[in-house]
Amino acid sequence: MLEVTAHAKINLTLEVLGRRDDGYHQVRTILQTIDLTDRLEIEPSSGLQVECDQPEINGEANLVWTAATALATHCGIVPHARIAVKKGIPMSMGLGGGSSDAAAALIALNVMWQLGLSSGDLAEIAAGIGSDVPFFLTGGTALAEGRGELITPLPSLPPIPVILICPKVTLPQKTAAMYSSLNPAHYSDGGVTSRLVQILTGVGFVIESMGSLTYNIFEQVVHEALPELNGLWDRLRGLFQNPLRLAGSGPAMYCLPSNEHEFRSASNALQPYGVGVYLVTTTGPNPAWGPQDEAERGLA
């Protein structure tokens, strides 16, 4: 059996540059993995089975199934594995759990099926599964462009404590709805992201400055799209030294850098409302993926 870990992500910045001819939006965003994880257990089987401890995403409803079949199709084989997905990342929060699971499956099955594909091959397959999937092949800190599939690794942040808040709020077809809420007045030239890239790749980076450098365009429309968040935002006002930001298209929110005191304050403030509050840490990238390295590591 192979066991692999799939990390959640937050968006340090998220800008939308405009709408593309193919219907997607052009984005410029800095993605960052955190140590909130799902776990995949993978073993040989005569066919393909995907089982999750969240039954609504068993089988073909899970991106892991899509990843396994895409990988098998690319290599001209029949997919054969039993994959158990154990969720630790809250679903539909903008944290990329499904995409991360798909990337972890690609990496592990490349080893189990002895396919010998390069990281570039896996990235090409990943881009066809979902916009965030290529990023999760390596994780860490990275610039994502295009519709999110064009990844440029950035110098890794040191471990930074992050408060993560996951409200029980749902919006049907959330990502599409959030993008549909944008209009040309929300589009930008990506300058906020460029400034943070410049700082991350320069010298003299100060962790304490990170909070003022984060940005997410969806915060300008989320209050109408998800009005339930307004009350939570009000209850949290004044508890944090740094700004509270959306993770991806939400509804998860985060604050960084943070600390144990702010975590306790937020937990106490939100305890009556059944909101998940986590104190997590930013993580660096996975080791460089190469077929030989993967086989030697065993992924366990």
Give domain status of residue 117, yes or no: yes
Amino acid sitting at position 75: C
Give domain status of residue 230, yes or no: yes
CA 179, CA 202: separation in Å to the nearest integer? 32
Average pLDDT on 195-222 reads 88
Give domain status of residue 300, yes or no: no
User: Range of 39's domain?
Assistant: 2-155
Q: Which residues belong to the active site?
A: 9, 132
Binned at pLDDT 50, 70 and 90, residue 289 comes out as very low
Give domain status of residue 129, yes or no: yes
Give domain status of residue 293, yes or no: no
Lowest mean pLDDT among 37-41, 65-69, 212-216: 212-216
Residues 143 and 173 in one domain: no
Whether 75 has a pLDDT exceeding 90, the answer reads yes
Average pLDDT on 256-281 reads 94
pLDDT digits (tens, 9 = 90+) for 88-122: 999 999 999 999 999 999 999 999 999 999 999 99
Final residue of a domain: which of 155, 173, 204? 155
Mean pLDDT of the chain: 92
Instruction: Determine the straight-line distance between the first and last CA of the chain, rounded to whole angstroms.
Output: 8
The domain spanning residue 48 has which CATH number? 3.30.230.10
pLDDT digits (tens, 9 = 90+) for 117-150: 999 999 999 999 999 999 999 999 999 999 999 9
Residues 244 and 120 in one domain: no
Percent of the chain with pLDDT over 90: 81
- The answer to whether the bond into 257 is cis (omega within 30° of 0) is yes
For 119, phi then psi, to 5°, come to -60, -35
pLDDT value of position 165 = 97
Give domain status of residue 298, yes or no: no
Question: 10 Å Cβ neighbour count for 261?
Answer: 10
CA 65, CA 52: separation in Å to the nearest integer? 11
Residues 99 and 235 in one domain: no
Residues 148 and 192 in one domain: no
Whether 290 has a pLDDT exceeding 80, the answer reads no
Question: 10 Å Cβ neighbour count for 127?
Answer: 17
The domain spanning residue 267 has which CATH number? 3.30.70.890
Final residue of a domain: which of 103, 127, 155? 155
For 76, phi then psi, to 5°, come to 70, 35
State pTM to two decimals: 0.92
Give domain status of residue 178, yes or no: yes
